[in-house]
């Protein structure tokens, strides 16, 4: 029991000594201390040397030597050769929409192409209306209506896209236009009322070469592009 009391007393004395040392090092709270720094709050209240603006954040130089402009157009320069008309046009698109990425656009155009081709074959006006401009939709709708009136049926199988290249881009006022050459493979046949094939082939794979132009109003909050023109190169 005596041994236990001695050990307990030893640790109590050690704790008091440590507390006093910490108090001397850290100081006493007087109520006039500055509040702890919040790294996420505005830094206007931090004292700065005379002649410096307290409300501005100092930009540190980039270690890789790249400028903000280089990084802004990095995706464009990786997609189209610098100094070419296509590169310049795509840079203007980045100026109007900093999130624009030409590679991602082409991927989206390929997806839209398949959706539009299949929706047209199926007579799916609802899908077409959301992907086409008013003028192009009216043309597709007229062709579908003509098919329905004649009792014709189209059966298509989308095999895939062999190649998709951006061939032209421009910004006119607030409208951005991009033309893509798409080479796809498709199995398609049109049947009459009697079920006889009157166009295409139900088994053969056909290569389809199209030039499609997509557009978007850069002032609009709607990020989606719509098909505004089609041209076949077959």
Q: Residues 6 or more apart from 136 whose CB is under 8 A from it?
A: 226, 227, 228, 229, 230
Q: According to the model, what pLDDT value does residue 93 have?
A: 95
CB neighbours (10 Å) of residue 93? 22
Is residue 189 situated within a structural domain? yes
Is residue 163 situated within a structural domain? yes
Is residue 28 situated within a structural domain? no
Q: Which of 54, 34, 36 is nearest to 44 (CA)?
A: 54
Q: According to the model, what pLDDT value does residue 18 have?
A: 55
Query: Under a CB-based contact definition with an 8 Å cutoff, are residues 184 and 160 in contact?
Result: yes
Is residue 50 situated within a structural domain? no
Find the domain containing 161 and state its range: 82-232
Is residue 31 situated within a structural domain? no
Q: According to the model, what pLDDT value does residue 39 have?
A: 37
Q: According to the model, what pLDDT value does residue 195 have?
A: 96
Look up residue 124 and give its two tokens: 């799916």
The CATH number of the domain where 200 resides is what?
A: 3.10.450.240
Q: What is the pTM of this model?
A: 0.70
Q: According to the model, what pLDDT value does residue 55 have?
A: 45
Is residue 109 situated within a structural domain? yes
Burial 166-198 (b: 16+ CB within 10 A, else e): beebbbeeeebbbbbbbebebbbbbbeeeeeee
**How many separate domains does the chain show?**
1
Is residue 89 situated within a structural domain? yes
Is residue 103 situated within a structural domain? yes
- The residue ranges of the chain whose pLDDT is under 50 are 1-4, 6-7, 9-11, 22, 25-30, 33-49, 52-65
């Amino acid at each position: 029991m005596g041994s236990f009391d001695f050990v307990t007393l030893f640790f109590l004395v050690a704790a008091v000594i440590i507390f006093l040392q910490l108090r001397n090092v850290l100081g006493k709270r007087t109520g006039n201390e500055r509040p702890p720094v919040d790294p996420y709050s505005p830094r206007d209240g931090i004292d700065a040397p005379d002649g410096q603006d307290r409300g501005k954040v100092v930009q540190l130089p980039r270690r890789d030597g790249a400028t903000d402009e280089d990084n802004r157009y990095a995706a464009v320069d990786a997609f189209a050769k610098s100094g070419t008309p296509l590169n310049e046009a795509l840079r203007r698109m980045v100026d109007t929409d900093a999130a624009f990425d030409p590679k991602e656009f082409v991927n989206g155009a390929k997806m839209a192409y398949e959706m539009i081709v299949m929706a047209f074959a199926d007579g799916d006006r609802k899908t077409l209306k959301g992907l086409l401009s008013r003028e192009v939709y009216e043309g597709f709708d007229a062709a579908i209506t003509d098919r329905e009136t004649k009792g014709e049926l189209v059966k298509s199988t989308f095999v895939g896209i062999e190649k998709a290249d951006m061939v032209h881009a421009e910004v006119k006022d607030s409208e951005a236009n991009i033309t893509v050459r798409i080479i796809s493979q498709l199995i398609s046949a049109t049947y009459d009322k009697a079920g006889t094939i009157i166009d295409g082939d139900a088994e053969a794979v056909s290569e389809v070469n199209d030039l499609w132009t997509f557009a978007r109003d850069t002032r609009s909050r709607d990020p989606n592009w719509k098909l505004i023109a089609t041209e076949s190169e077959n």
